Amino acid sequence: MKKIGIIVLGLFMQTIFAQTNRFVYQVTMKPNAADKNDVKTENAYLDISAEKSLFYSENRIKRDSIMQQNFQSGGARGFNRDQMESLRSNINYTVEKDKANQKTFFKDRLGRDVYQYEEDRPISWKILSETMKIGDYKVQKAETDFGGRKWTAWFTTDLPYQDGPYKFGGLPGLIVKVEDAQGEYSFDLMKNYKISDFPSMNQFGNTIKVKRTDFVKQQEKFKSDPVSFMSNQGGGFSQTRMGGGGGGIAPPRSGGGGGNRGGNGGDFRKRMEDRVKEEAKNNSNPIELN
């Protein structure tokens, strides 16, 4: 009986440590450089296991769920545009940290495809002696310069994780709060709970692995010529595409002769360029300035 009890206890402990812990952060942003009164707030998840962590928008999962239900029903119900519009997010990226190899991977969509790069800039923290309480946690202060901003973080050793929201990590505890010196971006831990596993995320198009510097170049190219990223050859990295079948947004198919085709293509290009310019203006104050 004693042997059985030890086995049961071992399985119980294994189950506990196999679980994924979800930390919910409130993200406050001022993404429009021309209007600092335009404050955006939404929730994001930091899911942590022993092997990795994943940071992404709460609205991403909600949108994926709606789209999945729509596809499973054969698209018969159609999308509720108002509902999808309410789930728009300023956090369109995901950040994955590989615990074993101490690597951080950033993913973001440009047109049809998702671009991924490995972060090549280590975050160097200055840990200060100042402490205080945030909610239930005793926290300690740390500072760093990253992405063209000066950041102040408050971390706790009350939780057994050395991680944080976005690309932040590497402190001897979990980051409870991190904010830039201008007060334009902040991440505040709201709550945490256990989940069974990491969520399965929908992805349309291919994953293109590039260097960070190349991603920045492609991002600028997308802003100036978004339509080129909607074709199968768009973006300049078609030879490095990984994964299957292009999805996402594609140019509308023509249904008639050459004249109609040219007109439709011109209308599509104009709408696409106008949309990207509007989004660029609304996101002219990015989290990373360089």
CA quadruple 85, 106, 236, 32: dihedral sign: positive
Mean pLDDT of 227-243: 54
Does the pLDDT at position 250 exceed 60? no
Specify the DSSP class assigned to residue 92.
-
What stretches of 73-140 show up as alpha helix (H) in DSSP?
81-86
Identify the pLDDT of residue 111: 83
Does the pLDDT at position 46 exceed 80? yes
Average pLDDT, the chain: 80
Point out the least confidently predicted range of 3-17, 112-126, 211-225: 3-17
Identify the pLDDT of residue 205: 77
Identify the pLDDT of residue 161: 96
Identify the pLDDT of residue 68: 66
Tell me which residue of 173, 175, 136 sits closest to 55, measured CA to CA: 175
Q: At what angle do helices 258-282 and 212-224 cross, to 10 degrees?
A: 120
Dig out the tokens for 28 from the structure: 């406050």
Tens digits of residue pLDDT in 124-178: 999 999 999 999 999 999 999 999 999 999 999 999 999 999 999 999 999 999 9
Higher pLDDT, residue 192 or 240: 192
Q: What does the domain layout of the chain look like in residue ranges?
A: 20-282
Q: Let me know: does 154 contact 133? Beta carbons within 8 Å.
A: no
Identify the pLDDT of residue 166: 98
The pairing of strands 126-134 and 103-110 is unpaired
| 212: enclosing H helix or E strand | helix 212-224
Q: Let me know: does 207 contact 235? Beta carbons within 8 Å.
A: no
Does the pLDDT at position 122 exceed 90? yes
Identify the pLDDT of residue 70: 66
Mean pLDDT of 7-34: 72
Share of the chain above pLDDT 70, in %: 73
Point out the least confidently predicted range of 67-76, 157-166, 224-233, 259-268: 259-268
- Band (30; pLDDT cuts 50, 70, 90): very high
Does the pLDDT at position 67 exceed 90? no
Does the pLDDT at position 104 exceed 70? yes
- Band (25; pLDDT cuts 50, 70, 90): very high
Backbone angles phi and psi of 198, in degrees to 5: -65, 145
Tens digits of residue pLDDT in 274-283: 777 777 777 7
The pairing of strands 207-209 and 174-180 is unpaired
Point out the least confidently predicted range of 40-44, 204-208, 262-266: 262-266
